[in-house]
Amino acid sequence: METGGLMTFYKWILPSCVALIGVSFLSQGAYMQIKANFAQYLIEQAWSKTLKDQLPHKPWSWADTHPVGKLKLYADKETDLYPIGQPMYVLAGASGRNLAFGPSLILSGAGVGEQGNTIIAGHRDTHFLPLKKVKKGDIVELETSYGMQQNYLITQINIVHESQTEILDMTTDNQLTLITCYPFEDLSANSEYRYVVTAKKVNSGHRLI
Amino acid sequence: MTRLTSYQVRDMPTNQKEANHHCFQSKKINRLHRFNSAVAYACSGLILLALMILNVLFPVHAMASNSSRVIEQVDEGNLSQVTQGILRFQQNGQQFESLPLKTDVQMKVSGWTNRVSVKQTFTNDTTEWINGQYIFPLSHHGAVDQMRLIIGERVIEGDIQPKKQAKATFEKAKKQGKRASLVSQQRTNIFTTDIANLGPNETLTVEISYQEKLVYKDGEFNLRFPMTINPRYAPAQSMLSSQEGGQSTHSGASYLSYESLSPVLPTSLLSFSHEFFNMEKPANSDSSSNSLMVSLSIELDAGFNVASIDSPYHQVTKTGAADKWQINFVNQQKADKDFVLTWRAENIQDYSSKPMTAVFTQVGQTHLPSTFIESNGANSANTAEVKDSHRRNMSNESQYGLVMLTPPFVTNSMGETDTRGAETLNEAADARLTSTHVPRELILVIDTSGSMSGGSLEQAKQAMLYALAGLTSQDKFNVIEFNSSVSQLSSTSLSGSSSNIGKANQFVRQLEANGGTEIGKALAASLLNQTSGTDYASGSEGGNTSASMLRQVIFITDGAVSNEHGLFQQIEAELGDSRLFTVGIGSAPNSYFMERAAMFGRGTYTYIGNIAEIKSKISQLLAKIEKPVSTDIKITYQDGTLPDYWPAQIPDLYQDEPLLVSFKAPAYNQQDLVVSGYTQGQYWQHTINRQTPKKAAGLDLIWANAQINAIEATQTRANLQRIKSQVEALGMKYHLVTSQTSLVAVDKTPVNPMADFNRNMQVKKHLPAGWKSPKGVLPQTATSSRLDILIGLSLLMISLMHGLWLKGYLPGQRLILPKR
């Protein structure tokens, strides 16, 4: 039965190969998710340093970016505000690499806390997944490097085509634009549509969190 | 094989009834079993894979409908329902429509000049009266002197008027319901055609003619016709300079903002907007109905035997022989990339050894101020006759001319004249290696703004990598990238060691396009740093080496800016000992900006249109800028007086790049011209004989245009009014469209009684070919992490099931066939 033994050996090759490919896919996907979550802890440390001295700090030594702000989402429930998701640290420059680590500030817009249109993009499957839950009237809190907390009231939620870059245009008032891909349930890495949350700055005395 | 599966159980009775009685046949069964299981496995695998692929390809898009707060802004149905030439776009509740337009270009090249007529045919497919507008690019060498409004058989000649007056004339005609057209200038290379009162289903043609001089470079003539415009970036006037400060970021403190005096561009040009750009879906791109199509034909009279004619970016047909050729577009072409035609002489030595003596002249003006009959070069014999008679009357008319300046040949150590441009890449590269290598400080500046995304950035990166590869250890270099902010490879220039070059390569490869085009900051970073940079170098290496080093800044960009004038001033003020070489990248770079910037930067401009050219063009550039330059060039008459020539400040002459200077000489002065200059500190001069000039037409237009360009470049806030009126006077006198004068044509009879209700339409442009703007501009904000996890889990599941099946642990197997 040595042929039979060989046969039994051979027939296990196929499932184990499939299992291997499966594991590689799984780990690749999991790596992206873990990276997205774990990086936030490192960025948090860099951010706390930045809050102390207002200087840019790299979250890890080989990074080419630095945190420029901290973003929190709050749902407006009748009388009180409830946080949605974890606080997020915003990185400078919306390159594909930065976006893997955290929501990123598009540099052609205004800086965090500056006058104008501050634009932050994030991945729909990691950091900006909670955007699915926000609605008009909710609050976005943005912390600047001086530790100032600015509150933005969500006034508009639009779905735009990726070519509609007018949402990146400068505004005269203080606006915060959050961009992520749409629809949220889509699995692929490419999407034609963007989910755009527009929030206007409210007086910091208006609603203190 | 002790176990049987359900497959066999089912198969056996039908196929092989007595099989299990014989050992021989049981082997057969084994084989069958294996075959069956493989098929079954493959089938199930395929089904699962197909399901997964389907899931990915057709994701659930129905989510939008259940939430009422979501507004669908892009109506896909509308986009795909383009039937006729009109493109509809819905944006913020407003409808924008594109006016169909056909452009027909005819060129007549004779020697060094080119007469171009551009026929823009507007068609109104709607049932309403409309007014239209078309913003289009033209060659920045071009002097637009003629416009005709063609309605059916009738031709209405355009009138030159001061800009405001022309606008008023046009608006009045529009109100009165008369057909009218207006051609005005937005920038030296951007023009606007406005038309009024185009009736339903009517067609109207605006013919614009201009004169341009050709570019001769590296042994070949070069003709460029721009087709579309890069969206321009307008930097904020107040340099708040949001400090996204990494250590490498150039601090905004040392950067002076130079005020741009150029008028503001229409906002639609400053960003990608549906109003202006034709953002067609790839699916529609092959249908010619909604595209802006161009047909083109060229009559080429080179004046010498042409060896090769080349159109690198468009398909053309060439017929002809010797020095007369006819070149046509194969089909109508989409207007999304610049047209370039190059040709070279059969015997290079024959032509390029002589051109030092080349001088072209013309007597009198093309457009006579006193008569209404316009002559169009050699177009009609009738007008030529009139002009001749006129000329006889006024024998004391001025002479207009073009004189070509060629740097004197420098013989190098090998005792032969320098490589001529005709040589191939390899030879040029060889020459680069063998010629005595002058150590230099090479500053590579790359534009990584949003407008560069797509093919442009790839080209630029390749060019950078190629330039880096050519550095030697004696050289110093630095790499600067800029978009909204500037970042440098290192704060001071590095030596060209292989580890440094490796670092630079890495730096270049990771560049991504994002943000604005703050050329000013980049210029400051590349030009202002030189003192500190060289100080540092001399401190560490000891003096002399760095002092003699050539400091060359290679600036790779598409020049998509709108504050050109301010930047020119900045270059002039900050240049110091550096030389600025601009390299234009992409399908439609702003060559006006780049050519002038190179002129102010005392360098040269190179245009690279596709990836294949990068190697040859960059190596040519690097070889060229290594060679000695002729400086302080002056043109005088024999008696030492200065002729009226433009540009008044003659730029430095580089090898293989002769320069054309326009001059005007009064009739009484028939003296020869003397050209002088310095090459490697040695004075040289030669006399240009003006008695046997070659004849050419339209030189007065070129002269006036050169003068306008030159004086506009010197404008400051103080002399603005003076320059404006000077330009206006020149424009009026020479019948040119300038920043202060426009051509307007008005039909006599009103045709539209209800002119106030016209719809306004605009001709949309194509985005330059190779742009990825729709994707490049809004960042891609999704990863495939969840898809990967899903695929991974599915595959694991499959393999697990298969394993269980092989073991016979699946529920069905155990029930049907217990272990034997």
Q: Out of A138-142, A195-199, B383-387, pick the least confident.
A: B383-387
SS3 B515: coil
List of chain B residues whose C-beta atoms are within 8 Å of the C-beta of residue A187: 55-56, 59, 784, 786-787, 790
* Nearest CB neighbour to B71, from listed A33, A92, A158: A158
Render B381-416 in DSSP notation, one character per residue. Answer: HHHHHHHHHHHHHTTT--EEEEEEE-PPP-B-TTSS
Interface list for A 121-160 with B (CB within 8 A):
121-126, 128, 135-136, 157-160
d(Cα B60, Cα B79) in Å, to the nearest integer?
21
Full-model pTM: 0.62
Q: Is there a contact between A165 and B271 if contact means CB atoms under 8 Å apart?
A: yes
Domain that holds residue A8: 3-202
Give Cα separations from B471 to A123, B208, B504, B749 (angstroms): 41, 47, 12, 68
> Chain A residue closest to B244 (CA)?
A92
Peptide bond into B407 cis (omega under 30): no
Q: Is there a contact between A167 and B783 if contact means CB atoms under 8 Å apart?
A: no
* Nearest CB neighbour to B792, from listed A16, A29, A121: A29
> Chain B residue closest to A57 (CA)?
B246
Burial of residue B91 (number of CB atoms within 10 Å: 0-12, 13-18, 19+): middle
**Does residue A41 lie within any of the structural domains?**
yes
DSSP B420: P
E strand segments, B36-112: 88-91, 94-97, 101-110
Among candidates A21, A24, A65, A22, which has minimal Cα distance to A42? A65
**Chain A: nearest CA to B450, how far in angstroms?**
9
Please name every residue paired with B417 in a beta bridge, in sequence order, or none if there are none. Answer: B411
Peptide bond into A183 cis (omega under 30): yes
Render B353-390 in DSSP notation, one character per residue. Answer: TSGGG-EEEEES-SS-TT-SPPP-TTS-HHHHHHHHHH
Task: Write down the pLDDT at residue B182.
Answer: 92
**Percentage of residues in chain A with pLDDT exceeding 70?**
93
* Nearest CB neighbour to B799, from listed A7, A18, A104: A18
> Chain B residue closest to A91 (CA)?
B244
Specify whether the CB–CB gap between B112 and B214 falls below 8 A.
yes
List of chain B residues whose C-beta atoms are within 8 Å of the C-beta of residue A24: 792
Among candidates A203, A68, A45, A53, which has minimal Cα distance to B242? A68
**Chain B: nearest CA to A3, how far in angstroms?**
10
**Chain A: nearest CA to B493, how far in angstroms?**
20
d(Cα B650, Cα B677) in Å, to the nearest integer?
10
**Does residue A62 lie within any of the structural domains?**
yes
Q: Is there a contact between B783 and A25 if contact means CB atoms under 8 Å apart?
A: no
Q: Is there a contact between A95 and B514 if contact means CB atoms under 8 Å apart?
A: yes
**Does residue A64 lie within any of the structural domains?**
yes
- Best residue in B5, B32, B233, B783 to probe A by mutation, most A CBs within 10 Å? B783
The bridge status of strand B88-91 relative to strand A193-202 is unpaired
pLDDT averages per 10-residue partition of chain B, 820 residues: 42 43 54 65 70 57 34 31 31 52 87 88 81 82 88 88 91 89 85 86 89 83 81 50 33 40 53 44 39 84 82 86 84 80 72 56 72 40 45 63 71 37 41 54 85 77 85 85 84 84 87 76 77 40 48 85 80 83 82 84 83 82 79 84 82 80 84 82 80 78 87 80 90 90 89 76 66 55 86 91 84 62
Sign of CA dihedral B722, B728, B732, B738: positive
**Chain B: nearest CA to A208, how far in angstroms?**
26
Q: How many CB atoms lie within 10 A of CB B295?
A: 15
SS3 A130: helix
- Best residue in A3, A17, A91, A108 to probe B by mutation, most B CBs within 10 Å? A108
Task: Write down the pLDDT at residue B37.
Answer: 65
List of chain B residues whose C-beta atoms are within 8 Å of the C-beta of residue A161: 73-74, 774
Q: Is A12 on the interface with B (CB under 8 A)?
A: yes
Q: Is there a contact between B271 and A169 if contact means CB atoms under 8 Å apart?
A: yes
What is the Cβ-side half-sphere exposure of residue A92, based on CA atoms within 13 angstroms? 25
**Chain B: nearest CA to A2, how far in angstroms?**
11
Q: Look at chain A and report how many structural domains it folds into.
A: 1
List of chain A residues whose C-beta atoms are within 8 Å of the C-beta of residue B246: 56, 64, 66
Specify whether the CB–CB gap between B234 and B561 falls below 8 A.
yes
Specify whether the CB–CB gap between B226 and B190 falls below 8 A.
no
Interface list for A 159-178 with B (CB within 8 A):
159-169
List of chain A residues whose C-beta atoms are within 8 Å of the C-beta of residue B29: none
Q: Is A34 on the interface with B (CB under 8 A)?
A: no
Q: Is there a contact between A157 and B69 if contact means CB atoms under 8 Å apart?
A: yes
**Chain A: nearest CA to B716, how far in angstroms?**
29
d(Cα B646, Cα B448) in Å, to the nearest integer?
35
Specify whether the CB–CB gap between A181 and B781 falls below 8 A.
yes
- Best residue in A125, A126, A163 to probe B by mutation, most B CBs within 10 Å? A163
- Residue A75 sits in a domain of what CATH number? 2.40.260.10
Specify whether the CB–CB gap between B445 and B482 falls below 8 A.
yes
* Nearest CB neighbour to A165, from listed B272, B785, B797: B272
Q: Hey, what domains does chain B have and what are their CATH numbers?
A: 6-59+797-816 (no CATH), 88-234+270-353+730-766 (2.60.40), 439-627 (3.40.50.410)
**Does residue A169 lie within any of the structural domains?**
yes
**Chain A: nearest CA to B82, how far in angstroms?**
18
> Chain A residue closest to B783 (CA)?
A189
Between A and B, how many CB-CB pairs are < 8 A? Answer: 226
Please name every residue paired with B187 in a beta bridge, in sequence order, or none if there are none. Answer: B190
- Best residue in A23, A26, A27 to probe B by mutation, most B CBs within 10 Å? A26
Q: So what's the ipTM on this one?
A: 0.87
**Chain B: nearest CA to A199, how far in angstroms?**
15
d(Cα A166, Cα A119) in Å, to the nearest integer?
12
Render A9-20 in DSSP notation, one character per residue. Answer: HHHTHHHHHHHH
Q: Is A94 on the interface with B (CB under 8 A)?
A: yes
List of chain A residues whose C-beta atoms are within 8 Å of the C-beta of residue B485: 107
d(Cα B39, Cα B33) in Å, to the nearest integer?
10
Task: Write down the pLDDT at residue B336.
Answer: 76
> Chain B residue closest to A92 (CA)?
B244
- Best residue in B71, B280, B778, B787 to probe A by mutation, most A CBs within 10 Å? B778
- Best residue in A119, A162, A172 to probe B by mutation, most B CBs within 10 Å? A162
* Nearest CB neighbour to A159, from listed B71, B244, B274: B71
Among candidates B101, B193, B188, B210, which has minimal Cα distance to B149? B193
**Does residue A46 lie within any of the structural domains?**
yes
**Percentage of residues in chain A with pLDDT exceeding 90?**
15
Q: Is there a contact between A159 and B64 if contact means CB atoms under 8 Å apart?
A: yes
**Does residue A209 lie within any of the structural domains?**
no
* Nearest CB neighbour to A188, from listed B59, B279, B781: B59
